[in-house]
Amino acid sequence: MWFFKTPEIVFGEDALFYLEELRGQRAFVITDAQLRRLGLVRQVEEHLRRAGMEVHVFDMVEPNPTVDLVRIGADVIRAFNPDWIVAVGGGSVIDAAKAIWVLFERPGLDPLAISPMEPLGLRRRARLVAIPTTSGTGSEATWAIVLTDPRARRKLGVGSRENMPDIAIVDPAMAMDLPPRLTADTGMDALSHALEGYVSTWRNPFSDAMCLHAARLIFAYLPRAYRDGARDPEARAHMHLAATMAGIGFGNAMVGLAHSLGHALGARFDIPHGRAVGLFLPYVIEFNARVAADRYAHLLHAIGRPSPNGPEAAFQLSRAVLELLETLEQPQTVAACGIPRDDFEADLPTLVEYALEDPSTLTNPRSPTAEEVERLLLYAYEGKMVDF
Amino acid sequence: MGIPFPSDAWIKALMEEVNRSPGYAEAAKNWEGDFYFVVEPEGPMTKPVVLYMDLWHGRCREAFEVTDESARNPAYRMSAPYSVWKQVIQGKLDPIQALVTGRIKLKGNMVNIMRNVRAAKELVLCCTRVPTDFIA
């Protein structure tokens, strides 16, 4: 038995107008200050007001939301008592909104105790709309939440199936002016969702369909979206949909070791999530070569490349990802992120521990030992092809 | 010839497997908490069987079949029908997926569980190494 969960998805040009169809009294918009300054939040507010709702904007979310931020948001939302929560932003904003929603409906719950094993009883007070402003996180279409423990410099994955947004509004206009570096970082996050979701041990035919098509779109359109930005609205629109598809794919199949390593590195050395995960992706594909070759061959076929038999498929796919990283001017090694070798090696035991304990490791097709995780990290530091 | 599941002999055999496993010792080095594993009656089983394990920093300190569930007050209680436990022990069902889908019910502190999912996986690997006779 397994599930395939998605929100109601409203997509395409002018999808934002769907906000005017919502019925309710009060909408609590969760976002960050930068997006508010850029004017994207104002559009959302206007649509909600036209729907007859009173609107309160909470714009305190910062990258890598913490448990403390979630508790602050929960205090503010309780005072406003909305019937709709509207998250406008990237993964940090949407993840924070999911956790704030839980504490709004379940005051007193430890956010780190949000788990798929315990019913939360959400939707008695409010429902959640997610409006992504980047093309990568997929959080608008998953129930996962990533919170950061700043004291331990550690990212922690929590979430309940009830956390799935009710509605995802995937309007490409919201990501049209994304800067190139953010386009590359978030685009690589989406690609990692698609490729890792497709080989995850929890994969299923529904998630396969989403991951395969998302991979196809990302390889085709991410270089164009990075190079031309708003001058290529077709590429932007395809990337925005691809990110949500990849989110649906991995949200129903989980991800793998590139995410575990990326979470650990990102939290310890303050590397953006998509950049960190994308950098590890080729090494993890090579590490998985012996156990997931046929799946990698399917992915190669989907992106229009020759798909050889056996482990060579993994190495060809790894090369395709490395070429994409080069096109996007993204780091292909940990060293290229500007992390001094001494600092990296000093942190290695913690990175290994965090990566092993990350839930994403459980669904990687090849279960790594601590020694293998350490070797993977060292290979990724130098840019060595994985040979073990 | 295997050991019948569920039984006192079986949970003691699992304790030995756990204490032999470097994988479990490493994955559960920070784990503190005892469990009831409740096998709900199904098919030839006519009454529930409760197995107790005291898991502490990568080792099992104590394991036995419980005749009176009120005898202990463990930190966690996991329960599932016999057929679900059988699939888990045979390695045919991912225990984390079984928890997520509610086929195995879990009660206890979820913060610790969410931080120790790898320990749960290693524990199940130990289960698969116990030579087991199933009653059906």
* CATH code: domain of residue B12: 3.30.1050.10
Asked whether the beta carbons of residue A117 and residue B27 sit closer than 8 angstroms, the reply is no
Structural domain boundaries enclosing B111: 3-131
Residue B48 in any domain: the answer is yes
Give A49-93 pLDDT, tens digit per residue: 999 999 999 999 999 999 999 999 999 999 999 999 999 999 999
Q: Closest chain A residue to B28 measured between Cα atoms?
A: A357
Residue ranges of chain A whose CB lies within 8 Å of a chain B CB? 1-3, 110, 112-118, 156-158, 161, 201-202, 356-357, 359, 361-362, 370
Is A112's CB within 8 Å of B109's CB? no
- C-alpha to C-alpha distance for A170 and A149, rounded to whole angstroms: 30
Q: Which domains does chain A have, with CATH numbers?
A: 8-175 (3.40.50.1970), 180-382 (1.20.1090.10)
Query: Any CB–CB contact under 8 A between B25 and chain A?
Result: no
On whether residue B136 sits in a domain, the answer given is: no
**Sign, Cα dihedral of A60, A61, A63, A64:** positive
**Taking the complete model, does pTM exceed 0.90, yes or no?**
yes
Given an 8 Å threshold on Cβ–Cβ distance, is B94 in contact with A201? yes
pLDDT reading at B111 higher than 90: no
Determine the pLDDT at residue A54. Answer: 98
CA distance A112 to chain B (A): 6
pLDDT tens, A10-58? 999 999 999 999 999 999 999 999 999 999 999 999 999 999 999 999 9
Nearest CA of chain A to the CA of B100: how many Å?
5
Total domains present in chain B? 1
Per-residue pLDDT of A91-116, as tens digits, reads 999 999 999 999 999 999 999 889 88
Q: How far apart are CA B76 and CA B54, in angstroms?
A: 10
Q: How many beta-carbon pairs under 8 angstroms link A with B?
A: 49
B27 domain-assigned: yes
What does the pLDDT look like over A267-295, one tens digit per residue?
999 999 999 999 999 999 999 999 999 99
- Nearest-CB residue to B101 (from A2, A110, A113): A2
Answer yes or no: do A161 and B100 touch at CB < 8 A: yes
CA separation (Å) from A287 to A293, A365, A386, B48?
11, 10, 6, 44
- Between CA A362 and CA A29 the distance in angstroms is 35
Question: Best interface-test mutation with B: which of A115, A117, A203 has the largest number of B CBs within 10 A?
Answer: A117
Mean of pLDDT over chain A = 96
List of chain A residues whose C-beta atoms are within 8 Å of the C-beta of residue B118: 356-357, 361-362
pLDDT at A214 over 90: yes
Distance (Å, whole) CA A113 – CA A107: 12
| Residue A117: how many other CB atoms lie within 10 Å | 19
B contacts of A200 (beta carbons < 8 Å) = none
CA dihedral A135, A141, A144, A149 (to 10 degrees): 30
* pLDDT(B114) > 80: no
Instruction: Select the residue of A113, A114, A359 nearest B117 (Cβ to Cβ).
Output: A359
Q: How confident is the model at residue A216 (pLDDT cuts 50, 70, 90)?
A: very high
The answer to whether position B112 is within a domain reads yes
φ, ψ (nearest 5 deg) of residue A279? -65, -35
